[in-house]
Chain A
Amino acid sequence: MSASDHLIPVVVSNVVEVNPIIKRFEFKHVNGDELPAFSGGAHIVVEMLDDGTKRKNPYSLMSSPFERDQYAISVRRDDTGRGGSKFMHEQVRPGMQMKISAPVNLFSLDLRARKHLMIAGGIGITPFIAQMTQADKLGVPFELHYAARSVSQAAYMDSLADRFGDHVSCYCDDQGESVDLEVLLSNQPLGTHVYVCGPKGMIERVVETASSLGWPAAHVHFEHFLAPPVGEPFEVHLAKAGIDITVGAEQSLLEAVEASGTPINCMCRGGACGQCETVVVACDGDIMHNDHWLDEEQRAAKQRIMPCVSRFRGKRLELDL
């Protein structure tokens, strides 16, 4: 059973154009009920009914964990993706009814920390907005370092600077500014935890720099949801269900399994949590794994697959589902 099996009916209460590529969506329960409690860093899965295709994308909650009358997420438009963000940008309007999952947190603050150091790249800012609200209320010191391509793309920068003042530093590529990770990570008091959310390269740089400076791995946290990539359609045999399914070009294997009514676990839908890990019964061809859950050896063995982000090319793929 997955969190996204118990969907909450919501109404879109507000849509705000934050900048040319980012929109904020706000949701209220259709009955006006309180929404489930969550902590900073949590995400929800939004179900999109796009002309016959059912898509579910995870988005970090950015609203205050202390206010439960509505949720807010921000969506960055990606025209080369599978169409989820495009659907949100083009089709979703205030008043529309949608379904969302209850929040799940794979990126929570470590409450033992003496200080929280947050590093955001681009749209990776969203989980930190809720986390800062939480850290601020808990009275634990925090610092946000936010890198964006340009001033105009640095969503929420002004409002964050207003709310959190000196706790926030911004760096814009087009101004020639960048975070000096070596200096930043060399100057943190004992007991600091670092959190990073942004592009893959940024996460890798933070993790590598921290470890080379001697930071314990348990003090380094990152979140990187992958968008399921588009590709050629392919066939899959589900051994337990005894059926064949087709995964469409812009559909993920997970979505195709769900559409067939076959039960499957999942949580992040982005190759990060490990919930959807499935045994491969037979594989004659190549699995494009795409996740960051399995290790190199497991991938090469072709005995496991993460249906939320993986694709297949070849003659036959049979899964233990």
Chain B
Amino acid sequence: MSSAANKYDACIAGIYEHPLRVAPDHTVAQLHAEVARGALLDAGLTLDDVDGYFCAGDAPGMGPVSMADYLGLKKLRYLDSTDTGGSSYLTHVNHAARAIAAGQCKVALITLAGRPKSEGSSGTQVRSQWASAPDFAFEKPYSPAPLNTYAMCAMRHMYEFGTTSEQLAWIKVAASHHAQHNPNAALKDVLTVDDVLNSPMIADPLHRADCCVVTDSGGALVVVHPDIAKTLKKPVVTMMGAGETTKGQMGGKVDLTYSGLAWAAPLAFKEAKLTPEQIRYASIYDSFTITVLIQLEDLGFCKKGEGGKFVEGGQLISGKGKLAFNTDGGGLCNNHPANRGGMTKVIEAVRQLRGEAHPAVQVPNLEFALASGIGGALGTRHGASVLIMGRLQ
């Protein structure tokens, strides 16, 4: 399996991000279809070329069974509905790459879409899909929502390592610097550290500006066999390495200072034969500022506990800092469709590798990019997934 997703074995050939951030007049299925069409157009392919289909819990009805019928996919021979929340779509890319390398399919379509903005779903509410989790019986009286469970991670990180609210704020500030160049971004205002600290405290120590946006929207990816990628017009983005896992409360041995990426990222770097020092652009899952900080440590960009120092002073701003991150504005400012930001993480990483990011934030001559995802809730149970991609020279 060591070479299954190595360079040239699978390529990301199509990307599309829905331009809408509020879509009250769309159905969720319609949004899936619009992003599928967009990504296939971007790749120069059609629905008839698709023989692999991937979707997660945001897909309406019976997942791929309902969506493949709605989309009119007639040649499917590979299906995957792995659902690890917002990290699902990175995991789908990994699984698609393995399936393509194994000869199971040649053109894999991955879609995500949702309408949480129109449906009034926010991070302060308990998620209904958590209700059947076996631990939920012991959590329900305490109303665990995304926001408060992440907030406890931030509080513990501050306690153990001296991380400050100012340092967390720098993550939002950097995202806002990037979002000003994205005409579709939900929040386009450039923020200062004080802006973040002066926004209302929602769940100590997280302010409103430490949180991602809630948006209707969607996105899609097309992963193809290298033989197909070579015939298409876009620059070829190749899969180089991936890792995925889950982390929970470990039988009560709770440790909120790290994510599952601490286990998954070394696998991805080993497979890609790269080190964090070689990554100049990273799409880091950004449901909250603390989500980014903990992942930067777990991905190896700095030591555990030193994330606060790593991000302060604008070190994540493209063209200014040591690591450019989320140059589309990320989930913190641009788009967090279906409350699941993993899809847009991959899309912006591909834009960067193709040289298609906004000129103000494009990293010059980018050879490698990383995308990470955290799905579920960092403070209770989550999926963790990471991809390392490269540009074919």
Q: Is A bound to B?
A: no
